[in-house]
Amino acid sequence: MSSQFHLPDVGEGLTEAEIVSWKVAPGDTIAINQVIVEIETAKSLVELPSPFAGTVEGLLVEEGMTVDVGTAIITVSATEGEEAPPPAPPETDAPDPDLKATTTLAATAQATAAAETPAAPEAPAEKPGAVLVGYGIKGHVSSRRTGRSRRTAIPAIGEAPDAKSPSQRPARIHQPIPGIPVIAKPPIRKLAKDLGVALDEVTPTGLIGDITREDVIRHADQAKVFHNIETPQWAPVREERIPVKGMRKQIAKAMVASKFTAPHVSLFVDVDATRTMEYVKRLKTSPDFVGVKVSPLLIMAKAIIWAVRRNPMVNSAWTDKEIIVRNYVNLGIAAATPRGLIVPNIKDAQDMSLRELAGALEQLTITAREGRTSPTDMSDGTITVTNIGVFGMDTGTPILNPGEVGIVALGTIKQKPWVVDGEVRARFVTTIGASFDHRVVDGDVASRFVADVASIIEEPALLLD
């Protein structure tokens, strides 16, 4: 009996997707929940599992084509009785970070549970429309990954770290041995490929001499300054045509809507960041921050949260009928990924300690670079920070993230001559830039906000108030 698999709604409210790559070919024998195709929506890359077991009869859509949700994309000669029943959503444990996401956050947990756990004794009635394996409204499924998926919360400053938590263990440095293959899990190898990192050049710090995500990202950060040294040859073709689709189409749509809807006003200020650099250096050697990445962006994030509390209008939203003042901070972090610019946000950042915020920033960065950022992580932001300093830029005029009225840009921090007490000294100096929606934020409010952020960068001790 032949069955067709229709492009499902992956839970993002989107109506179409591009077929990026097929993982199977006609004649292949496939199992239930085996990944058969990788698709790209406007928000993320998604791997789709098969709801059938059987033999692939034909691929109905070519790679590179964009099709609507509900379109038949593959025909399978299904083994009788092998269609996967749609179980109920499992408990909302976070998926293991070592698993590559096969759907959005919710679908990932459900597909994982369906793949690893027997279905409920009674299969629920089918719901109309295309759905992913693992979706349904009845039954119960438990996951045997529960123990691994529950992560220990990041303790606040002063709390004793969990001795059993891998993030708290001191890193073991293993020097690469010539001729010995590197040890790295598949997701780590994919991350290294996306970032252009040669694994045999990375120093592993894993407990068994394996390469971790942090090792790859650290190596990429150290090497990025050299990326522009080699100049490639001109492409052999005179012109290239890149279709505008997927995430690039979504980015363009959002930026045009923001720029031509919200009247932008931008401000800039040079800041002596020497004390911030000294503070970051102390935090890196503090026992309270073992296993957590600390950078000037962490102090900038905390400064923005502090300044928002003093100037709440920069954390508002404009709706034409009213201005919504949000007394919480979902702090967006502009992240450059291999697929384009995305802005995931840290929910309720105002309630986090400095250490908790550092851990959240690190996890957000890792997730974004691996392409595992979910639509939920990119929704409901209130204000954004973009760190253009990592690219060596002094400042810029950032465009507002749609739905927000403020965005702050942190420029590069480097030593410059600076007048201190009437004398010219070498100090670490940066430029803070910010853009605001002038419908909501007046010049005096914008100026006070930027001045408050600058005051923290100049003197981080103010955060102790």
Tell me if the pTM is above 0.85: no
Residues 346 and 221 both lie in one domain: no
Question: Which of the two residues, 137 and 37, has the higher pLDDT score?
Answer: 37
- Choose one of 92, 115, 149: the last residue of a domain: 149
Residues 216 and 256 both lie in one domain: no
* Weakest-pLDDT range from 156-165, 217-226, 296-305: 156-165
| 160 part of a folded domain | no
Mean pLDDT (whole number) for 260-277? 94
Residues 6 and 118 both lie in one domain: yes
Residues 134 and 220 both lie in one domain: no
**CATH code for the domain in which residue 170 is found:** 4.10.320.10
* Strand pairing category for 406-410 and 383-387: parallel
Confidence of residue 429 (pLDDT cuts 50, 70, 90): very high
* Weakest-pLDDT range from 175-189, 250-264, 361-375, 407-421: 175-189
Range of the domain at 193: 166-226
Residues 445 and 300 both lie in one domain: yes
Q: Each residue of 302-347: pLDDT tens digit? A: 999 999 999 999 999 999 899 999 999 999 999 887 777 889 999 9
Residues 206 and 90 both lie in one domain: no
**CATH code for the domain in which residue 346 is found:** 3.30.559.10
- In whole angstroms, give the CA distance from residue 35 to residue 32: 9
| 161 part of a folded domain | no
Residues 318 and 252 both lie in one domain: yes
User: Residue 99: left (phi > 0), alpha (psi -120 to 50), or beta?
Assistant: beta
Residues 171 and 140 both lie in one domain: no
Of 62-66, 158-162, 336-340, 358-362, which one has max mean pLDDT? 358-362
Mean pLDDT (whole number) for 349-377? 89
Instruction: Return phi, psi of residue 260, to 5°.
Output: -100, 5
Residue 158 and residue 110 in contact, taking contact as beta carbons nearer than 8 Å: no
| 356 part of a folded domain | yes
Residues 340 and 424 both lie in one domain: yes
| Residue 264 known to be catalytic | no
Residues 373 and 261 both lie in one domain: yes
Residues 222 and 252 both lie in one domain: no
Give the total number of structural domains in the chain: 3
**CATH code for the domain in which residue 35 is found:** 2.40.50.100
What local confidence, expressed as pLDDT, does residue 205 receive?
83
Q: Each residue of 167-184: pLDDT tens digit? A: 444 444 445 555 567 788
| 240 part of a folded domain | no
**Which residue in 140, 174, 264, 438 is the catalytic one?**
438
